[in-house]
Amino acid sequence: MLKNWQLWREKKRLSDFYFPRIQEEINIEKKEELRREYRSQLDEILSQQRLHEDQKLLKKALRKGLYVPMEIDETGNSTAWFEREWADQVFVKRERAFELAQKIKEEQRKSRFELIQGASTIGNLIGKFVVVPVFLLFSSVYDSSSNSNDTRLPNKTDQVEISVRYDRGKCLVPVELRGITPDQYFTRTLDAERKVLAISIRNKSRRVIAKVRWSLSVHREGHSTDLTDYQDLSPLEQPAFKRSNTYVNDKILQPGEVVEDCYMLPMTVGGYAPENLRYAVKSKTVDFVE
């Protein structure tokens, strides 16, 4: 966590130093030279960040007892798991890193399953004493909820259609340089690059919609793993992943009305190019106007 913070601070320091100079420079050649210097130093920081992530992944794999090959073979060449890229640095290949992360997840699931099995005997004993009271409690809750006038009607959500697509051409808006600080420009540029999901909501019901909430699933073509799954991430990373995949639209929609807007990409694991992924609605709830 500390290393990631240090790298972030270094990227901010770099942008604070170069952005004002690039904006103020009149000479086109010098301006381009400054851009090259900035890009070169940024590539070095991104390289350190990737090396750090690789090291964390490999250490986690070793703790789980998984096979981790050597970086270099007897001939001095990189093995099938690794590749040489910027500044002759050796990185774990992205597809291998994703496969290893999936194996780590599987081992963590097995560990949780074994823990549950070990506690099953105690759970069965406790269940004999609590199952009847719990059943009665849930029965009373169900009866009271059935008689309530809650505006959220899950059985009507199928009549609300949400479609999602990656559409950079429609959604990407250039960031205006004038009147903002370099740090604001850097932040807004990153946000603009992520706000490229065109999502439309169609009210096919006979009722007026007050609010729609939904989350997305993201997959590689031909793969079943949901890249938005954050269960195996560290507790510090999980809240950000969850927030990034929580969407809300509070525009009031009349029956038959359609609204379309651009939204941020959810955070995903694996580092895949967003334009090559498949996006679908995973869950949704709808609030209707009484």
pLDDT digits (tens, 9 = 90+) for 37-58: 878 887 777 777 777 787 777 8
- Residue 220 is predicted with a pLDDT of 92
Q: 251: pLDDT confidence band, cut at 50, 70 and 90?
A: very high
Query: Which pLDDT belongs to residue 143?
Result: 47
Q: Is the pLDDT of residue 69 over 90?
A: no
Region 99-120: mean pLDDT is 72
DSSP letters, 37-102, are: HHHHHHHHHHHHHHHHHHHHHHHHHHHTT-----SB-TTS-B-TTEEE-GGG-EEE-HHHHHHHHH
The type of residue at 47 is S
pLDDT of the residue at 252: 93
Question: Over 70: is that where the pLDDT of 22 sits?
Answer: yes
Enter the pTM of the model: 0.48
Find the mean pLDDT for residues 186-191.
Answer: 74
127-170 pLDDT, tens digit each: 555 554 555 555 554 444 444 444 444 456 788 999 999 998 88
Half-sphere exposure of 44 (CA within 13 A, CB side): 7
Domain spans of the chain, in order of start: 2-93, 154-288
Tokens of 259: 């609204």
According to the model, what pLDDT value does residue 59 have?
Answer: 81
Count of beta carbons in the 10 Å neighbourhood of residue 277: 17
DSSP state of 152: B
What average pLDDT does this structure show over 228-237? 82
